[in-house]
Amino acid sequence: MPNVTDRAQMSADHNYAGRRGTWPSTLYYLRGMSTPPQPPQPADQPAQQPPYQQPAAQAGVPSQPTAYPYPNPQSPPAGAFYAQPTLVGQPGPGGPQPGNPYAQATPFGPLPPAPAAGGGAGRAVLWAAVGAVVASAAWAAGVFLVGGAGDSAELRGYSAPSNMCSSADYSSFKDEYTEEDSSPTRTSLKDAALDEGYCSLSLKKPGSSYADAYLTVQLDLHKKTDPGPEFTATWKKYGDSHKGYDVDPVEGIGDEAYLVSQDTTNGSSSGSRYATLAVRDGWVTYLMSYSTYLSSYDDDKDPPALTDVTDWLKTDTKATLRELRS
């Protein structure tokens, strides 16, 4: 129920409108006090049913401004919450389209971007960058204080030859395998982290057309990292990862040495015999391996016993390490 002041204002408006003939506009003004005008529908969007019917404005009379700059705080009709987006302060045709942070996404253009976050995120990024710089500086300081690993590498006077085949001693095998290999395989490596020499030889008995056995030797000088832990894990526990092999520690050669062997011949003319002597002396590792394979196509039906082979490996390994260390 309007109070006295409202009835007076309505009477004045009634008299003024009666003289100007603008009663419909006055009714629109009164309705606009509670609900803003509906936005125009795009041409390609089907018309939506408004929550109430607005009276048409009289031609030639500009629309009256609404008293509320935001949407009606009252709840919308049931089932029509997303039926039609509400635009606030929609200007007339040809005017700019102001952004409405309270409206849903509309067909009239994208909403303005959200304002930037406060300084908390910036400070977090700054502290992360500072932490990375400090960590890098600490790592660099540690490397500088400890020094290059090559400075403390225990190479003990060893050198890796460019031709390991001519530097390795395997004279113990030459009584059994008298034929020389005319084209052995050899490689060498020189690097700040590792020096390496490698040789693979074919062993032949007198009268053999093909190799009766094979011998390989390899020397590695580890100049940046200590090979000790990995060497021990690889050879001491070789039988854990390779079933059917015997592993025996060998005393008197380097800091640690292991003999790995396998014999599958069982006194027959088939099978194989294999033995490797692995030695670590400081940061230097040395391997000497022997292998032979028996079959009906081989000329050699009587290879040396595995015990003889292991003795030869020990003798020639000691001789080779003495030569490469001097």
The one-letter amino acid code at 144 reads F
User: 166 and 33 in one domain?
Assistant: no
Residues 223 and 78: their CA atoms lie apart, in Å, by 80
User: 165 and 76 in one domain?
Assistant: no
Three-state DSSP class for residue 235: helix
CB atoms closer than 10 angstroms to residue 27: 13
Residues 273 and 261: their CA atoms lie apart, in Å, by 8
Q: Which pLDDT tens digit goes with each residue over 229-239? A: 999 999 999 99
What's the CATH number where 235 sits? 3.40.1000
User: 298 and 200 in one domain?
Assistant: yes
- Asked if the structure places residue 102 within a domain, the reply is no
User: 163 and 82 in one domain?
Assistant: no
The helix (H) or strand (E) run that includes residue 28 is helix 23-32
User: 169 and 65 in one domain?
Assistant: no
- Asked if the structure places residue 16 within a domain, the reply is yes
Q: Which residues of the chain have pLDDT under 70?
A: 1-151, 296-300
User: 305 and 195 in one domain?
Assistant: yes
**Contact (Cβ atoms closer than 8 angstroms) between residue 256 and residue 277:** no
- Rg of the chain (C-alpha set): 48
The domain boundary residue, chosen from 92, 110, 143: 92
Q: Quote the distance between the C-alpha of residue 190 and its chain's center.
A: 31
pLDDT at 285: 98
pLDDT at 269: 76
Read off the pTM: 0.55
- Report the percent of the chain where pLDDT is more than 70: 52
Domain limits at 65? 1-92
The domain boundary residue, chosen from 41, 70, 92: 92
User: 88 and 228 in one domain?
Assistant: no
Exposure pattern of 110-119 as b/e (b: 16+ CB <10 Å)? eeeeeeeeee
User: 274 and 182 in one domain?
Assistant: yes
Number of domains in the chain: 2
pLDDT at 132: 64
User: 303 and 193 in one domain?
Assistant: yes
